[in-house]
Homo-oligomer: A and B are copies of this chain.
Amino acid sequence: MNNFNLAEISEQESYTNPMSEKAIGIFDSGLGGLTVLKEIVKLLPHENTVYFGDSGRTPYGSKSGDTVRRYSQQNTRFLLEQGVKMIVIACNTASAQAYNEVKAMAGVPVIEVISPGAQAAIAATSSQRVGVIGTRGTVQSGVYAQALTRVSGRPLRISQQACPLFVGLAEEGWWNNDIVRSVASIYLEPLIKDNVDTLVLGCTHYPLLTQAISSVMGPEVKLINAGRSVAEQVRQQLQRADLLNQQTTEGWHQFFTSDSASHFQQLGSTFLEQRIKAAGHVEIENY
């Protein structure tokens, strides 16, 4: 009996779910999601990934919910066609507006970036005064306030602020100069007045501006980069679904964009802080 059981266990251990070798699919409105990809690769170096950046239609943050949902569904269809085992919506606006629609059509686990960020913020705050910054779309949707309240279970004081220019500043490469600090001072003033002790960077572009934001908020305010929590969430869900890639070599990484591939390679390498050697162009409106 014992032997039989042992044999069964060892057979289970050597069994590899064929789905596990497939890639993790990640999409974003453009380049910001590369800050999430970076954290996933850091935590899960053996995973393969397929990234789609919708740079041809970026940004999502100023667009209506209907438009963001339509785009997110097309992006999902493209990633599913690549045979991915999981979809990560690495864009706060799309997570806020289109999570249910993507989940309904995916047939594989879907991870969004709001809940992991909210969990990390609740773990970090001691005063229960939490700030959230993001695009206009994310802030207006109110999803962060909902997620924070749901996760916390305690009375919270939540202060939200849309920072539309931060994306343009990040893409201009102005990550920590006088201008970005002046813009940050204007946007962040209400959050400083509200005495938040924790600030959620609710847009995947914002981690690039960490130093400028921190210099305005003060060193005692904890900044939450959801990317790290998202990567941890990806690990947990893959493990639970027996989908962690068992290969011992480094994973491969594919990049696709709806704008020109060379353009994406050039700017994306800055965001990823690593050279993107190849990228493919996708006519995403056909999906």
List the B residue with the shortest CB-CB distance to A283. Answer: B70
Give chain B residues whose Cβ lies under 8 Å from the Cβ of A62.
171
Give chain B residues whose Cβ lies under 8 Å from the Cβ of A63.
55-56, 259-260, 263
Give chain B residues whose Cβ lies under 8 Å from the Cβ of A23.
none
**Number of A residues whose C-beta is below 8 Å from B?**
27
With both chains docked as a complex, state the minimum distance between the C-beta of A276 and any C-beta of chain B, in angstroms.
15
Q: Using known A-B contacts A55-B63, A67-B260, determine if residue A168 contacts B179 with beta carbons closer than 8 Å.
A: no
A258–B164 Cα gap in the complex (Å)? 20
Give chain B residues whose Cβ lies under 8 Å from the Cβ of A55.
63
Q: For chain A, residues 150 to 205, give those with C-beta under 8 angstroms from any C-beta of chain B.
A: 164-165, 167-169, 171-172, 178-179, 182-183, 186
Chain copies in the assembled complex: 2
With both chains docked as a complex, state the minimum distance between the C-beta of A97 and any C-beta of chain B, in angstroms.
12
Give chain B residues whose Cβ lies under 8 Å from the Cβ of A186.
179
A11 at the interface (CB under 8 A from B): no
A171–B172 Cα gap in the complex (Å)? 17
- 8 A-B pairs with C-beta separation under 8 A: A62-B171, A63-B263, A64-B260, A164-B168, A165-B169, A179-B179, A179-B183, A285-B285
Q: A55-B63, A182-B182 are in contact. List 6 more A-B contacts (CB 8 A).
A: A56-B63, A64-B263, A164-B171, A167-B168, A179-B183, A179-B186
7 tightest A-B CB contacts, nearest first? A64-B260, A285-B285, A168-B168, A57-B57, A64-B263, A56-B67, A165-B168
